[in-house]
A and B are shown apart, each in its own frame.
Chain A
């Protein structure tokens, strides 16, 4: 009888370069901010641009997070996600307009309540819409990428046109609630109040999401489902239900992002969701499909790059996002933090 082959497991710590590779996406943001500072030179404009870049990134993250999770969990790419952004914006703005007096009053609590009510209405409506969308549009075409893309694009068109039917064909201009207008000056830099609100809100959502995903049972199931759905089902969890929940939550977040973006731009159109989808896709791709952290970092990168470049070289701003995507994909073809194995 021969001896068992030598088996001496080693528990070597990760080498420095491996660790650096893992941490690289996180380091990218401070590096970008510092580079931006060096390129811009003036502290006050750098601060303004950074805050607006962060605000934009946070809002894009709100819209992108749901999409990336839905993809990770069920391998479904929802091109109709943009419709929820538009619907959220329209519902939210309608609520704000209906409250009239509360938004024009120069009182912070009243304005805040008004905005919160608008957000609540928007997320509620888009959540319900997402539930219906999943049932009617997405469910019949599980597992067929080609048909998914076609059908969800069809759904996007129908919802967008329904917005035209309900709210009329023209864009709607709005004014932000009184206390969120204007800017505060800090270190000589003008920081728009609404952008600060967007940054705070985005951070709250990101932290909550991370807590739910990392600390709760449901988060555990979701993360496990992203990594290996069949195994989770084999262990007796009804992944379908979890998935529907994630789809609804993702749609509601898109609606929230839509309200914020509408208030940020102070104009809403039925096509806004479709336009935002382009940024959202870029974010999801460079972040790595299925990764919430990746989407967060990707969104901040896109927001910051766009703002810096628009200041430094306005002509390049149009293609800055595509350029960013090309660079990241050359570096990591799967995106920065891919969770879903390439299928």
Chain B
């Protein structure tokens, strides 16, 4: 049973299995184990980022393509839900239509970009996605009559998913719509993650790995590298868009900063690299550690900065605004010394 669910790709390490199990249980029972608005926010964020990072890993770790447009696909899904909810009124049909349209748009856009860049050389893809993603981000903030510009969009999700919808109490926790929304997020993310696991362990996934290792040889064996790369890109974009839709349903707000900004792209990159490229479990570990660190470490940095305020330069370096500096350093160091990430280390590969 477990073997089927995990598509035969077991964690292959006691410690890793234990870690994954702890994360799964913690996320599944988050509302009861860690009551409170902030921890529920964090848990939902972890769920969504696991899917987002896993979909990115399908491209980076499995196919060996670097994309800088993953937040664009994420944003497409989020804006799909937001626009559908704004124009169709609150309701589950709006959420569904928005998600599907967002995922479709993402896949089509990924296909178009892939058509231009992937058939020449994979490195074009990185540059072109960077250009397209920035153009889309500017476009979204400029077309304010449609997208709400920099302010973003606020909209209503179905009443069943809002805190106002109450239906009793269990284990000392109030059961309300927010809880339902959390479980919607959790189930959808779990399903998407298992689906991605299925994809990478299918014959299709094996071809992708072959392309990553040596695209010339894969072509020589008879696989059409361009077609496989494009398919992987489209699939990854569609899943990222779905993760964006879930994020929009949870947050009930979309804006350029929360869905499209380049710093989210950097977060994703870092999560993939820290967790481990080329394995879906890396996404779980990376996203969990990173989101927790982001939420709780920044506070710590603030305290450290104040504590050292008498010294020169050091408080500047430790201020919470310089969070990205340390991420960058960590990023470079982990690519050098830790290229297989936490999961790779735990599995004892290389």
Residue ranges of A at the interface with B (Cβ–Cβ < 8 Å):
77, 79, 137, 140-141, 145-147, 149-151, 153-158, 160-162, 164-165, 169, 274-275, 277-278, 281-282, 284-285, 318-319, 321-322, 325-326, 329-330, 333-334, 342-343
Contact = CB atoms under 8 A, between A and B. Distances in A.
A146 B66 contact: yes
19 contacts: A77-B126, A140-B336, A146-B60, A149-B66, A150-B273, A154-B329, A155-B328, A157-B327, A158-B328, A165-B325, A285-B128, A318-B135, A318-B138, A319-B135, A321-B131, A322-B135, A329-B116, A329-B120, A334-B120
Residue among A145, A150, A160, A285 facing the most chain B CB atoms (10 A cut-off): A150
A342 B177 CA distance: 55
Contacts of B269: 150, 153
Nearest to B116: A329
Contacts, number: 106
Contacts of B328: 154-158, 161
Given A137-B332, A146-B66, A161-B324, A322 B121 contact: no
B1 interface: no
A165 B132 contact: no
A209 to B, nearest CB: 22
Given A274-B262, A278-B134, A319-B139, A325 B322 contact: no
The 3 lowest CB-CB distance pairs between A and B, nearest first, are A157-B328, A161-B325, A154-B332
A277 B127 CA distance: 9
Contacts of B155: none
B321 interface: yes
Tell me if A's interface is mostly helix, strand, loop or mixed.
helix
B130 A277 contact: yes
A325 B131 contact: yes
Contacts of A334: 120
Contacts of A154: 328-329, 331-332, 335
Nearest to B65: A146
Contact of A165 (B124, B126, B317): B317
A334 B124 CA distance: 9
A179 B66 CA distance: 46
Contacts of B60: 146
Contacts of A77: 123, 126-127
A59 B327 CA distance: 31
Contact of A147 (B116, B121, B134, B339): B339
Contacts of B139: 318-319
Interface size class of B (residues with CB under 8 A): 35 or more
Given A77-B127, A151-B335, A318-B139, 7 more contacts: A149-B123, A150-B331, A153-B331, A165-B316, A165-B325, A281-B127, A281-B131
B147 to A, nearest CB: 13
B66 A158 contact: no
Contacts of B117: 329
A175 B345 CA distance: 54
A158 B321 contact: no
Nearest to A140: B336
Contact of B124 (A146, A285, A318): A285
B112 to A, nearest CB: 9
B150 to A, nearest CB: 15
A282 B329 CA distance: 28
Contacts of B266: 153, 157
A53 B337 CA distance: 45
A157 to B, nearest CB: 3
B332 A155 contact: yes
B119 A278 contact: no
Interface string B86-100: 000000000000000
B202 interface: no
Nearest to A338: B120
B4 interface: no
B122 interface: yes
Given A157-B325, A164-B322, A343-B121, A325 B332 contact: no
B321 A169 contact: yes
Contact of A158 (B123, B316, B329): B329
A333 B119 contact: yes
B144 interface: no
Contact of A318 (B128, B142, B262, B317): B142
Contacts of B130: 277-278, 281
Contacts of B332: 137, 151, 154-155, 158
Contacts of A160: 324
Contacts of B123: 77, 145, 149
